[in-house]
Structure 1
């Protein structure tokens, strides 16, 4: 108790915001204590691909349940109108708390919005931990466009495929990919100009983190750079400009996001038009170009933003080996499309 604070005999009311309440107790009434289990309540309206109905007590039924088996874990996700409930049970007991966090990351990306957990219960071995959290209503959480469709029952396979591949690909929570997605999501809350800069820099960061081997130049230009550097050494010019030229030539040998993206385009992994849009939007965002009031120019700017958002999504889907259908924001009407997945093996493992 804080110094100088006392409770009168009649009691005292203390008003404060409680961030979380935590309880840990012994796990009782469970036959297989080797199993692990979690239950979540996620407030808000979220669309899920329901593939099973729930019978009501008074007769009738509601199609509000999505049942999945992902990596041996049985999931039951229910749409409760103003919240989602998620039950997950792993008979083998290999599902740790990191699994829960990565699952929340995966569905956040699918839903296009943050999924804060109001209530959380996790059980493993002989212990059950329960947490009740307060969620701020002041945090903006507008939905951004989802990489995959997930509303109808027939879209459950894409939904499951994405979650499974995401969990398989990222072994720890808060991997770089989710970090960049989170930044993009937050920037969209501030408008398109804020989103434009964040998306383009996020793509650059993702390329450096996961696709750097694609950015190295071919042997021919490396050889030409070496020859040029030797010739420049012989020039009788000022040392400052000579040093600057040699430095620029030396950078030719380094991996660059631009080179990596165009190589991915050459191999058919991404559309070259999306890479062109990234180059254009990156330059405009980095140099703080003001938006033209012309409707056509504004529409072109918005189109480039969605092409870049699509490029970011594709880089994620390629990384996790997603072989379902995704929403293609680079084309009119956002049709579904498929990926070319034969990335080099070392890039899958990076």
Structure 2
């Protein structure tokens, strides 16, 4: 991957430039507008890839006087407003970029009458992703490789030591994380060729959760079946909240174990659920975690609304079986209550009887409810009653749109409840993939590390 190192160094220094001879082709239409010309690609100060395409010729339904139509406001931008770029550089290598929203750079009509010569138009845009590929001598039919460059130095085991953090496995997935001279992080991942794309996605997302930030690579290189593919993805700015690490970096065994368990897990939704969308457990957990990360980045109150609903989603999806014994007990209570209601005088208590019967019927239709599922996990010692109580405190107000923090006196109790819920959510995620290693306990003051997450 020597070529990858060269490209990564240019991107990291903010000096990536590329000159291509090629075309811009309109997306999603049978008779597309196609501009032929020269593409100038320059990395700007924000790390983005700015396109300046000098048009030399055009085919398709393009009216030089009208130019390109602008997408309407208030609607999602349709595919036909985008263009795909393809072009050859000086090394005869093909580079491509998809779905570029372009505009034509023309003098203002206020300058007076225009006589537009051929080749005058210049198309401007921002490239979301630039890619190329070529054959390589590295050809392992049963194994594939990927490398990423991440901006900044990620927290990871042994991050302050000269030696990279590595996990070696000749048969299963293997990885390494090291810091570059430019102050960034290089991540390498190797796994079996079969299912490599899904394994790569799962690994990258697990690393996002471990480092407490949704990782975005600025460069990547993959080697699959003797073909090496490069891509450059401009860095998107986003607000970084204070990191809440599930497992501190000094517990390298925990990081290794979580990644192994995460990659091995093939669990789908609880078989007792009537409907399942078939999503992998890794994708579901990452979805919930990412929503929580973004909400917590705004403020802890928004985070509380998301974490309580995420607990509900995880419990219903993966843990309905834990309440089987409690369901039997509750059914006995329902039956006894209904028998008692039958003994009441309907003339005097008709309204009360109907309300109670309706409640019982509703409970039977919607069982097991989240409260019962969490009670079942309390019985198995996976979570505590304090966590369930905290979830109830926050969830009730959040579900009804009430203020979660009503005054300064509430802040301390609110934070206690929030981190009890955060611990509850984290445990549901870890139990869903079978992780039983060390992890921080956010339900206890000082956030101690439990050597075994399942108590």
Q: What does the per-residue CA deviation read over 1:276-304, in whole Å, with 9 as the maximum and x for residues that have no partner?
A: 11111112322313523334x21111111
Question: Which residue of structure 2 lines up, in the alignment, with residue 149 of structure 1?
Answer: 248
Which of 129, 132, 148 in structure 2 is aligned with 1:20? 129
Question: How much does 1:30 deviate?
Answer: 2.0
With over 3 angstroms needed to count, the CA separation of the structure-2 counterparts of 1:174 and 1:23, relative to structure 1, is farther
Number of the residue aligned with 2:385: 272
Q: Distance in 1 between matches of 2:310 and 2:329?
A: 30
CA RMSD, Structure 1 to Structure 2 (Å): 2.8
Distance 1:134 1:239 in 2: 67
Paired residue for 1:166?
A: 262
1:337/1:4 CA distance change after superposition, 3 Å: closer
Larger mean Cα displacement after TM superposition, 271-280 or 128-137: 128-137
Judging changes above 3 Å, is the alpha-carbon distance between structure 1 residues 220 and 68 closer, same or farther for their aligned structure 2 residues?
A: closer
Cα deviation, residue 310, structure 1 = 0.9
Q: Tell me the distance in 2 between the aligned counterparts of 1:195 and 1:145.
A: 12
Q: 5+ residue gaps in structure 2?
A: 1-24, 27-32, 36-54, 57-116, 268-279
The aligned residue for residue 328 of structure 2 is: 219
Over 3 Å counting, the alpha-carbon distance change for 1:35 and 1:323 in structure 2 is: same
TM-score (structure 2 length as normaliser): 0.65
Q: Distance in 2 between matches of 1:31 and 1:249?
A: 64
Aligned residues: 326
Instruction: List per-residue Cα deviations over 1:8-62 (Å, max 9, x = no partner).
Output: 7888754321000122333x212534321111112233111128x9xxxxxxxx6
Query: How far did residue 101 of structure 1 move?
Result: 0.7
Paired residue secondary structure (1:106): helix
Q: Verify: 1:236 aligned to 2:365, yes or no.
A: no
TM-score normalized by the length of structure 1: 0.82
- The 1:220–1:303 alpha-carbon spacing in structure 2 relative to 1, beyond 3 Å, is closer
Find the counterpart in structure 2 of residue 332 from structure 1.
Answer: 445
Seen in structure 2, the aligned counterparts of structure 1 residues 333 and 228 have a Cα distance that, compared at 3 Å, is: closer
Range with bigger deviation, 194-203 or 316-325? 316-325
Contact 2:202 2:283 in 1 (8 A): no
Question: Which stretch shifts more, 6-15 or 166-175?
Answer: 6-15
Deviations 1:91-144 (A, max 9, x none): x5345111111011101111111101221222222333222112222x223343
2:19 counterpart residue number? none
Partner residue of 1:76?
176
Does 2:162 match 1:63?
Answer: yes
**Greater RCO (CA < 8 Å, at least 6 residues apart):** 1
2-side partners of 1:50 and 1:9: how far apart? 60
Distance 1:265 1:110 in 2: 26
SS at match of 2:168: strand
Report the CA distance between 1:339 and its aligned residue.
Answer: 4.1
Deviation per CA, 1:144-181: give whole Å up to 9, x if none: 3111111x3xx211111111111112574862111111
- 2:412 corresponding residue in structure 1: 299
Residue from 397, 401, 406 that aligns with 1:284 = 397
Greater Cα radius of gyration, structure 1 or 2? 2
The answer to whether the Cα contact below 8 Å between 1:114 and 1:141 also exists between their aligned partners in 2 is no
SS at 2:162's partner residue?
A: strand
- Counterpart in the other structure of 1:135: 235
Change (3 A) 1:185 1:38: same
Richer in helix (by share): 1
Name the SS for the 2:259 alignment partner.
helix
Question: Among 360, 375, 390, which residue is 1:249 paired with?
Answer: 360
1:65 and 1:122 mapped to 2: Cα distance?
A: 20
Question: In the alignment, what sits opposite 2:157?
Answer: 49
* Match for residue 213 of structure 2 among 73, 90, 113: 113
Conserved in 1, the CA contact under 8 Å of 2:168 and 2:175? yes
- What is residue 85 of structure 1 aligned with on the other side? 186
Higher strand share: 2
Structure 2 CA distance for aligned equivalents of residues 174 and 338 of structure 1: 23
Over 3 Å counting, the alpha-carbon distance change for 1:164 and 1:143 in structure 2 is: farther
